[in-house]
Amino acid sequence: MLSTDDDLLATAETWRRAGRGVALATVIETWGSAPRPVGSHLVVDQDGNFLGSVSGGCVEGDVVTEAVDVIEAGTAKVLEFGVADETAWRVGLSCGGRIKVYVEKVA
């Protein structure tokens, strides 16, 4: 079962209060067959720990890595993931869809 938005935000708050750097990744657009809908979230801390999902696992590793960079730099990013059908299985986007994810540092 995926965590609810309340769980994710509570976790982000707990991590911040503990002095950890935190980023929030949010699906802001999808095209075609996408693993998670617009509004899906992933909370990431400075060490790469995470809760939630923006892709059903297929691009989560890249989002976590980028989120750690956002925490360090303090600058938000928009990430786009999508592949041609012939490369979909290689990168883990077997659905063939595309997603856009906004990653921001939680202050």
65: amino acid identity, one letter: T
Q: What mean pLDDT do residues 61-76 have?
A: 96
Q: CA 59, CA 92: separation in Å to the nearest integer? A: 7
Residue-number span of the structural domain to which 53 is assigned: 5-105
Q: State pLDDT tens for residues 28-59.
A: 999 887 888 999 999 999 999 999 999 876 68
**What span, in angstroms and rounded, lies between the C-alpha atoms of 23 and 32?**
27
Q: What does the pLDDT average to over 62-69? A: 96
For the chain, the domain total comes to 1
Strand order of the sheet with strand 41-45?
50-52, 41-45, 22-31, 98-105, 77-82
Q: Do 25 and 93 form a contact (C-beta atoms < 8 A)? A: no
pTM: 0.85
End-to-end CA distance of the chain: 28
1 pLDDT above the threshold of 50: no
pLDDT in tens, 72-102: 999 999 999 886 544 445 555 556 678 899 9
